[in-house]
C-alpha cells in the first residue's frame, strides 16, 4: 500500500513544496508520485532522491491540467488500497484534489500541518490565525486526500535511486477537459526568492501608495532580503500576487521579518508566524501584528523606514 | 446567459466565533453575513449578466435558515436565489457542500457558475473544483480577470510567478480571486427591491443528495502563542532599536 503524492513541475523541476511531500510520504511508507509536467530524467531523479519509488508521469501540454490529471490519478487509485494522497497548496494541487475528490467520493482535508496514517488518516491543522489546533480523523474507507501547507515538512535528499517511471497517456476528459492555456506570463520580481530569503521586508496597506514599495525594495536590498506584501496590496494591484504572504499566498520562515503598515490579520499571520524574529512598524498601538512581534514600533512608517535606511547606509 | 453565483453566508468575521463542545462545529449565530469573498463573485456575475443580457441566480447552502447574507447579494442586483436549508446539512464537509450546490445549479440550468476562490470561514478552497467535476465542465480557478464572448470564457489565472491566459467553451465554473473586481455597494433602491426578490428553498432530499459524514474533529486544543516582545513608541529614534535588534540577531 503506497502513499501517493501529487507533484507539479514548474520551471522544469518538481516544486519545492512537492519535494517536502515526497520526503514526508517516504517517512511513512512506500511512495508513489503522480507527476504533472513535461518531465525529464533530471526531474525524476530528484523525486527518486527524495524517496519516490515509482513515478507516474502525465504531460498535459496546453490543456489545463486538473481534469485529465484527476481522471488519470483516479484510475490509478481505484485499483489500489491506498489510504492517503498528499497535495500541497499550489493552484494545480488544489484543482486536482477537488476534482479527484468528487470523482472518487473521497474526502479532502485541507490546510494540514501534520498528517499521520494508522488504520485511518489523522490530520492536524490550525484555525483562528493559529490560536487553536484541530485534529481531524477521516472516518470513511478509501483514500483520503490531504492538502498540507508549505514548509511544514522538510524536504530531504536521502540519496534514493532512480524511480520506476511510468508514462501515463493523456486521457480524454470530454467536456471537463475543454480548458486550454493559451499564454503564460511571468511577473518577475527582482532580488532573492521570497520563499528562500533569510530576510523578508513586507508591506501592507499602511504604505498608502504603490510607489512606496520602492522604499521597501531599498531596505531589502541593504539587508540582502526579499520583499513581500499582504493580500490587500496585491488585490489593490500595487504588487504582483507572487509577493503575497499568508493563507492564500506564500509561507515564509526567514530569520527576520519586517512588517511595515501591516495590521496582522490572521490570514496574513499564518504565512509568516514561523519567522525567527519579527519586527513590526504600525501607527496603531492596538494592531494585532504587535501581539507576535519581538520588536514593535508604534509610529509612522514613512518616518521610521527612511531613517532605518539611512542608518544602514551609513554603516556600509 | 444563465449565470449561477455561489454565495456563502458566514458568521460576521468581526465577531469571534465558537466551536460547540460536542461536535466542534462552528456555532453559527442566526445573523449571518455575505462572505466578502463572494461579493466579488456577485460583482463578476452582475457584470457578465449586464454584458450578455443574462440573469444572475444565487445559490447558497446555509443550514441555519438565515437570509441576511443572501439579501445583501440580492441588493447588489442579483435576480433570484436558491437557498438549501436543511438541519441535516449542519457540519457538512466540502464534498457534501459541492454535491448540494451542483445539484441545485443543475436543476436550475446554467451557462456559467461563479464562485469565490476560498471562503473566509471554511477556506478549504476546493468546492468550485468539486462542483466542476460533478457538473462535468472545466474549472477556471484563481481567475483575477475574465471575459466572455461567443460561448467562450477567458480568464487570467493567477500562478505562483505570474499568470496564464486560460480559455474554455461554456458551460464552465469560474472561481474568482478577491482582487478580480471591486464589488459595488447596494443602492437604497437595491436594498428595497431585494426584499421582494424570489428566494426558493430546497432540502438535501429535494435535490436527491444524501449527506455523508467523511471526517470527524476529534480534538481542539489551544496553541501556545508566540510571546509579544517589546513595544516602543516612536520618539524619532525608534529606528535605532531596530538597528540594535538586527545587530543582535547578526543579520548586519
Ligand atoms: C479567505 C481569505 C484569505 C486571505 N488570505 C490572505 C493572505 O494570504 N495574505 C494576506 O496578507 N491577507 C489575506 N487575507 C486578507 C486579510 O484578512 C487582511 O485583509 C489583509 O491581510 C490586510 O492587509 P493589510 O495589513 O495590508 O491592511 P490593513 O488591515 O488595512 O492594515 C493596514 C495597517 O497599516 C497601518 N498604517 C496605516 N498607515 C500607517 C503609517 N503611516 N505608518 C504605519 N502604519 C500605518 C494601520 O494602522 C493598519 O494596521 C485573506 C482574507 C480572506 C478572507
Ligand atoms: N455553503 C456554501 N454555499 C454557497 N457557496 C459556497 C458554500 N461553501 C462554499 N461555497 C463557494 O465555494 C467557494 C470556495 O469555498 P471553500 O471551498 O469553502 O473555501 C466560496 O467562495 C463559495 O463561492
Judgement on whether residues A131 and A248 belong to the same structural domain of the protein = no
B58 CB neighbour count, 10 Å cutoff: 27
Judgement on whether residues A212 and A143 belong to the same structural domain of the protein = no
- pLDDT band (50, 70, 90) for residue B66: confident
User: Is A32 part of a structural domain of the chain?
Assistant: yes
Q: Residue A41 pLDDT > 70, yes or no? A: yes
Alpha carbon distances (Å) from A75 to A7, A30, A71, A261: 17, 19, 6, 49
pLDDT tens digits for range A88-124 = 999 999 999 999 999 999 999 999 999 999 999 999 9
Q: What's the number of domains chain A is made of? A: 2
Judgement on whether residues A240 and A169 belong to the same structural domain of the protein = no
pLDDT at residue A300, rounded to an integer: 98
pLDDT at residue B26, rounded to an integer: 65
Judgement on whether residues A168 and A212 belong to the same structural domain of the protein = no
Domains annotated on chain B, with CATH:
2-207 (3.40.50.620)
Which residue matches cell numbers 470564457?
B153
pLDDT tens digits for range B92-110 = 999 999 999 999 999 999 9
**What CATH number corresponds to the domain at position A6?**
3.40.50.620
pLDDT at residue B225, rounded to an integer: 80
Q: Which residue of A has its CA nearest to B141?
A: A95
Judgement on whether residues A147 and A241 belong to the same structural domain of the protein = no
pLDDT at residue B17, rounded to an integer: 66
Q: Residue A153 pLDDT > 70, yes or no? A: yes
Are A248 and B117 inside 8 Å of each other by CB?
yes
CA distance B119 to chain A (A): 11
Of residues A127 and A91, more confidence is placed in A91
pLDDT tens digits for range B222-248 = 888 888 899 999 999 999 999 999 999
Judgement on whether residues A95 and A228 belong to the same structural domain of the protein = no
User: Is A242 part of a structural domain of the chain?
Assistant: yes
What is the whole-number distance in angstroms between the Cα of residue A99 and the centre of ligand 2? 15
Q: Is the CB of A272 under 6 A from ligand 1?
A: no
Judgement on whether residues A49 and A151 belong to the same structural domain of the protein = yes
User: Is A212 part of a structural domain of the chain?
Assistant: yes
Domain extent for A272: 199-315
pLDDT tens digits for range A236-265 = 999 999 999 999 999 999 999 999 999 999
Are B220 and A132 inside 8 Å of each other by CB?
yes
8 A C-beta contact, residue B207 and residue B104:
yes
Q: Range with the lowest mean pLDDT among A234-248, A275-289, B2-16?
A: B2-16
pLDDT tens digits for range B75-92 = 999 999 999 999 889 889
**Rounded-to-integer distance, Cα A242 and Cα A250, Å:** 8
Judgement on whether residues A214 and A297 belong to the same structural domain of the protein = yes
Q: Which residues of B touch A194 (CB under 8 A)?
A: none
Nearest CA-CA partner of A36 in A109, A105, A79, A87: A87
User: Is A167 part of a structural domain of the chain?
Assistant: yes
**For residue A253, how far is the Cα from the chain centroid?**
12
Ligand 2 pocket test, candidate residues B116, B174, B209, most atoms within 8 A of CB: B116
Judgement on whether residues A165 and A32 belong to the same structural domain of the protein = yes
User: Is A193 part of a structural domain of the chain?
Assistant: no
Q: Where does residue B105 rank: exposed (0-12), middle (13-18), buried (19+ CB within 10 A)?
A: buried
pLDDT at residue A128, rounded to an integer: 80
Q: What SS3 state is found at A48? A: helix
User: Is A188 part of a structural domain of the chain?
Assistant: no
Are B164 and A184 inside 8 Å of each other by CB?
yes
Q: Is the CB of A25 under 6 A from ligand 1?
A: no
User: Is A185 part of a structural domain of the chain?
Assistant: no
Q: Which residues of A touch B131 (CB under 8 A)?
A: 102
Judgement on whether residues A130 and A275 belong to the same structural domain of the protein = no
Judgement on whether residues A145 and A209 belong to the same structural domain of the protein = no
A–B CB contacts, 8 A cutoff, strictly below: 276
Whether the upstream peptide bond of residue B171 has omega within 30° of 0, thus cis, is yes
- pLDDT band (50, 70, 90) for residue B29: low
Are B139 and A10 inside 8 Å of each other by CB?
no
Judgement on whether residues A173 and A203 belong to the same structural domain of the protein = no
pLDDT tens digits for range B130-148 = 999 999 999 999 999 999 9
**What CATH number corresponds to the domain at position A254?**
3.40.50.1220
The average confidence (pLDDT) of chain A is 96
User: Is A184 part of a structural domain of the chain?
Assistant: no
pLDDT at residue B50, rounded to an integer: 95
**E-assigned strands of B170-239?**
172-176, 199-202, 215-222, 230-233
Q: Write down which residue in A147, A177, A207 finishes a domain.
A: A177
- pLDDT band (50, 70, 90) for residue B161: confident
The average confidence (pLDDT) of chain B is 93
Among the partner-chain residues A175, A237, A256, the one whose CB lies closest to the CB of B136 is: A175
Which residue matches cell numbers 474533529?
B217
Amino acid at each position: 500500500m503506497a502513499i501517493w503524492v501529487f507533484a507539479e513541475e514548474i520551471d522544469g523541476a518538481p516544486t519545492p513544496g512537492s519535494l517536502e511531500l515526497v520526503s514526508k510520504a517516504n517517512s511513512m511508507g512506500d511512495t508513489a508520485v503522480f507527476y504533472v509536467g513535461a518531465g525529464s530524467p533530471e526531474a525524476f531523479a530528484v523525486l527518486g532522491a527524495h524517496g519516490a519509488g515509482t513515478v507516474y508521469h502525465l504531460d498535459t501540454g496546453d490543456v489545463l491540467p486538473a481534469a485529465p490529471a484527476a481522471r488519470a490519478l483516479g484510475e490509478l487509485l481505484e485499483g489500489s488500497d491506498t489510504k492517503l494522497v498528499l497535495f500541497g497548496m499550489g493552484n494545480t494541487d488544489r484543482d486536482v484534489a477537488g476534482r479527484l475528490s468528487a470523482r472518487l467520493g473521497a474526502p479532502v482535508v485541507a490546510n494540514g500541518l501534520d498528517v499521520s496514517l494508522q488504520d485511518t488518516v489523522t490530520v492536524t491543522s490550525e484555525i483562528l490565525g493559529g490560536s487553536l489546533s484541530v485534529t481531524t480523523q477521516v472516518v470513511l474507507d478509501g483514500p483520503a486526500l490531504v492538502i498540507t501547507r508549505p514548509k511544514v515538512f522538510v524536504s530531504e535528499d536521502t540519496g534514493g535511486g532512480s524511480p520506476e517511471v511510468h508514462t501515463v497517456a493523456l486521457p480524454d476528459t470530454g467536456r471537463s477537459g475543454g480548458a486550454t492555456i493559451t499564454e503564460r506570463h511571468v511577473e518577475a520580481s527582482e532580488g532573492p526568492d521570497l520563499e528562500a530569503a533569510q530576510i523578508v521586508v513586507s508591506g501592507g496597506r499602511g504604505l498608502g501608495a504603490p510607489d512606496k514599495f520602492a522604499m521597501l525594495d531599498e531596505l531589502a536590498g541593504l539587508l540582502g532580503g526579499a520583499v513581500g506584501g499582504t493580500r490587500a496590496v496585491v488585490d489593490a494591484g500595487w504588487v504582483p500576487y507572487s509577493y503575497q504572504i499568508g493563507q492564500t499566498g506564500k509561507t515564509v520562515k526567514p530569520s527576520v521579518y519586517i512588517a511595515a503598515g501591516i495590521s496582522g490579520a490572521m490570514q496574513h499571520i499564518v504565512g509568516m508566524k514561523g519567522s525567527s524574529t519579527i519586527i513590526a512598524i504600525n501607527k496603531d498601538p492596538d494592531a494585532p501584528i504587535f501581539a507576535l512581534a519581538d520588536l514593535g514600533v508604534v509610529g509612522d512608517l514613512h518616518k521610521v523606514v527612511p531613517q532605518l535606511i539611512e542608518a544602514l547606509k551609513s554603516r556600509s | 446567459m444563465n449565470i449561477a453565483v455561489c454565495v456563502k453566508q458566514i458568521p460576521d468575521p468581526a465577531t469571534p466565533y465558537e466551536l460547540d463542545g460536542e461536535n466542534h462545529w462552528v456555532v453559527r449565530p442566526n445573523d449571518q453575513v455575505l462572505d466578502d469573498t463572494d461579493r466579488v463573485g456577485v460583482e463578476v456575475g452582475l457584470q457578465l449578466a449586464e454584458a450578455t443580457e443574462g440573469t444572475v441566480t444565487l445559490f447558497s447552502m446555509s443550514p441555519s435558515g438565515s437570509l441576511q447574507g443572501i439579501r445583501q447579494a440580492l441588493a447588489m442586483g442579483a435576480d433570484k436565489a436558491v437557498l438549501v436549508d436543511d438541519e441535516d446539512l449542519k457540519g457538512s464537509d466540502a464534498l457534501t457542500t459541492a454535491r448540494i450546490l451542483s445539484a441545485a445549479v443543475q436543476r436550475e440550468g446554467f451557462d456559467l457558475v461563479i464562485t469565490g476562490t476560498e471562503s473566509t470561514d471554511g477556506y478549504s478552497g476546493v468546492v468550485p473544483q468539486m462542483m466542476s467535476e460533478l457538473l462535468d465542465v472545466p474549472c477556471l480557478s484563481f481567475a483575477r480577470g475574465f471575459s466572455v464572448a461567443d460561448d467562450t470564457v477567458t480568464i487570467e489565472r493567477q500562478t505562483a510567478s505570474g499568470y496564464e491566459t486560460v480559455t474554455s467553451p461554456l458551460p464552465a465554473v469560474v472561481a474568482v480571486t478577491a482582487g478580480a473586481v471591486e464589488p459595488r455597494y447596494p443602492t437604497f433602491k437595491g436594498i428595497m427591491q431585494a426584499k421582494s426578490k424570489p428566494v426558493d428553498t430546497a432540502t438535501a432530499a429535494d435535490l436527491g443528495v444524501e449527506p455523508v459524514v467523511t471526517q470527524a474533529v476529534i480534538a481542539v486544543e489551544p496553541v501556545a502563542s508566540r510571546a509579544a516582545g517589546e513595544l516602543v513608541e516612536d520618539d524619532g529614534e525608534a529606528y535605532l532599536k531596530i538597528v540594535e535588534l538586527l545587530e543582535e540577531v547578526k543579520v548586519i
